[in-house]
Amino acid sequence: MKGMFFVAIHVLEEAQRCLNCKVPLCQKGCPIHTPIPKVIRMMLDGDLDRAGWTLFENNPLTTVCSVVCNHEKQCEGNCVLGRKGAPVHFSSIENYISTTYSNKMVKGPATPNGMRVAIVGSGPAGLTIAVVLARKGYQVTIFEGKDKIGGVLRYGIPAFRLPKDVLDDFEYRHLVLKDIKVRPNTTIGGAITVEDLFRDGYRAIFLGTGVWQPNALHIKGETLGNAHFGINYLNNPDSYRLGDTLIVIGAGNAAMDVCRTAIRKGVKKVKCYSLTKNVAASKHEFDYAQLEGVEFFFNKKPVEIMDDGVLFADVIEHEDGSFETVEGSEQLHPSDSVIISISQGPKSRLVNTTEGLKATARGLLVADEYGRTTRPGIFASGDVVAGARTVVEAVAHSKKVAEAMDAYMQGRDIEGEENA
């Protein structure tokens, strides 16, 4: 209780700094348009429950987003107080309100409307769709390829950034209490196909399978035993023996997660290499990686992975975004292991086993702004449509897709008119 008291005092002091702007730029900067000044005012007026309800009603993953969002570029980055000083740290306020209120979320399932919906994948997009449609009375079943729900939230973000009990609480509050069924260890496109789902009476199907296929460098040595891929490593870091020195190729947020996880798992020296002169990761993640001892190298291009390290060449980065390799600059950078973390793409099993479902050359599902794919009744959003994006972006778009799915199943078009 003592620790909680000090957290509450900090949050109240932070909330009292809010100017309650008539045109809240913080809200505009949030991809899901969280009504930030309104929520803060509710809390300061003593109505913490209403503030919490408002957060969850707007964003089912508000507890998660309060932790993993890139606040410095979104809500907090647009706060007017940040122009001359420190912005209001809404991330702390949101986390306090949402975690405090979540224990009071005990409402059971809505009145059933008699329609079944299948959700394939339980990442941010799938979880959002499931909750929104369950609120409307749909009988929802989630099909998850792994043993627990969460997708990238559980298997791609380290526990030191997003504690797993946040996801466990979400599963109870949002899935169990709303009678949303979960079938773990079930891959659609294998023993069960999309056709089977339609056969069994699912009125609509949502595909939110994410992007789990790592992008390769396609250079010599990538198949050696000391080379690994970042998304695979984050899935289960305890299964890897990396040695004392690690080279990480790539400098996005996932690469920072790899670096910081490896340090926590006992790697003594971590070196991170970027093709560009800057890291792609957020300043927050980059600063923490530096603080924890990660050494960074810029304008380096991997040429070959070897048993004792990586051969890198220097590159010149031009203003037009092109790169020029400096001839004769190749040099071996020693390491025990190498992890390649240069984003990832979708796996193709679902597309290959579903008639009428089209994908782009990159393997991403083709869908319009409402998530409608090329197959009627099948919707998609999240990373499997847009490529790797932030959690809050996936949630924001998925809310729109959920409304489109509801309209489709109720026989309306998106604008609310009757279908022909």
Quick: pLDDT tens for 220-272: 999 999 999 999 999 999 999 999 999 999 999 999 999 999 999 999 999 99
pTM over 0.85: yes
Are 2-102 and 215-344 in the same CATH fold?
no
Strands (E) located in 23-145: 116-120, 139-143
**CATH architecture assignment, domain 2-102:** Orthogonal Bundle (1.10)
Percent of the chain with pLDDT over 70: 96
Q: Which residues pair with 247 in a beta bridge?
A: 271, 338
Quick: pLDDT tens for 51-66: 999 999 999 999 999 9
Residue type (1 letter), 84: K
Quick: pLDDT tens for 180-212: 999 999 999 889 999 999 999 999 999 998 888
pLDDT class of 86 with cuts at 50, 70, 90: very high
The average pLDDT across 148-165 equals 93
| Domain ranges for the chain | 2-102, 116-212+346-409, 215-344
For all residues of the chain together, what is the average pLDDT? 92
End-to-end Cα separation, the chain, in angstroms: 59
Rounded to whole angstroms, the Cα distance separating 117 from 201 reads 9
- Alpha carbon of 237 to those of 161, 242, 244, 307: distances in Å? 15, 10, 15, 21
pLDDT exceeds cutoff 90 at 213: no
DSSP 264-292: HTT-SEEEEEESSSS-SS-HHHHHHHHHT
What local confidence, expressed as pLDDT, does residue 190 receive? 85
pLDDT exceeds cutoff 80 at 7: no
pLDDT class of 74 with cuts at 50, 70, 90: very high
Percent of the chain with pLDDT over 90: 82
Strands (E) located in 75-195: 116-120, 139-143, 181-183
For the segment(s) 116-212+346-409, the CATH number from 3.40.50.300, 3.90.25.10, 3.50.50.60, 3.40.190.10 is 3.50.50.60
Quick: pLDDT tens for 341-376: 998 877 766 777 788 999 888 788 999 999 999 999
pLDDT class of 5 with cuts at 50, 70, 90: very low
What local confidence, expressed as pLDDT, does residue 353 receive? 78
CATH says 215-344 is which class? alpha beta
Residues 6+ apart with CB under 8 A from 277: 298, 299, 317
pLDDT exceeds cutoff 80 at 418: no
